[in-house]
Amino acid sequence: MQLAEKLNITDRAISKWENGKGMPDSSIMLDLCKELKISVNELLSGEMIDMKNYDENAEKNLLEMVKQKEENDKRLLHAEILIGILGLLPFFISLIIIEAVKMEEWLASVITLTSIIPFLIATPFMLKIEQIAGYYECKECGEKYVPTYKSVFWSRHIGRTRYMKCPKCNKRTWAKKVMSK
Ligand SMILES: [Zn+2]
């Protein structure tokens, strides 16, 4: 409770950390470490670090963070597929309805056009995930980069491989999606 007061948060939040149900927000990590008189690295690795082994531990923490980003990115890409399927579902359902129910042509057109709207709404979200999850690898120089949303939006693509300009060598290549740098 004393620590919670000093950090201006609830004691329930601290209880969550202690029980492993949550992590301190990065915004208060520095203050928390100051109160506990430990380094951020020690907080993240959960052990006291003597300076002799410091580099090794820093390396491990960094690796752990990279691993978490990769796992998170994979989850995002799976979510993208789900969003795509859900977005297209109304369209397929409308095809079935039009096939099964006799109706005038104009009504069939209205139903078909309306059924595409969810997919159109889903598209920007899917493109955003394509942009931020993982990296694109330049075929020319091997640079792995995160492209701008604009270049993802306007580029031709086959699956997740996109024809984009590399920020390092400025060549346009069919850049493949890779998960790690
Ligand atoms: Zn390049």
**Predicted confidence (pLDDT) per residue in 45-54, tens digit:** 777 777 667 7
What spacing in Å lies between the alpha carbon of 77 and ligand 1's midpoint? 24
- Distance CA(52)–CA(50), nearest Å, equals 5
**Predicted confidence (pLDDT) per residue in 58-80, tens digit:** 778 877 888 898 999 999 999 99
Ion ligand 1: protein residues whose beta carbon lies under 5 Å: 138, 140-141, 143, 166, 168-169
Closest CA to 66 of 135, 160, 168, 114: 135
**Predicted confidence (pLDDT) per residue in 10-47, tens digit:** 999 899 888 877 778 777 888 888 899 988 778 877 77
Res 110: pLDDT = 96
- Looking at the whole model, is its pTM more than 0.75? no
What spacing in Å lies between the alpha carbon of 154 and ligand 1's midpoint? 18
What spacing in Å lies between the alpha carbon of 172 and ligand 1's midpoint? 8
158: DSSP letter: E
First to last CA, the chain: 42
Res 19: pLDDT = 86
Share of residues in the chain with pLDDT > 70 (%): 99
What spacing in Å lies between the alpha carbon of 169 and ligand 1's midpoint? 4
Share of residues in the chain with pLDDT > 90 (%): 68
What spacing in Å lies between the alpha carbon of 42 and ligand 1's midpoint? 38
Res 26: pLDDT = 76
Q: Which residues of 99-135 are buried (b: 16+ CB within 10 A; e: fewer)?
A: eeeeeeeeebeebeeebeebbeebeeebbebbbebbb
What spacing in Å lies between the alpha carbon of 71 and ligand 1's midpoint? 26
Domains contained in the chain, CATH given: 2-63 (1.10.260), 72-178 (no CATH)
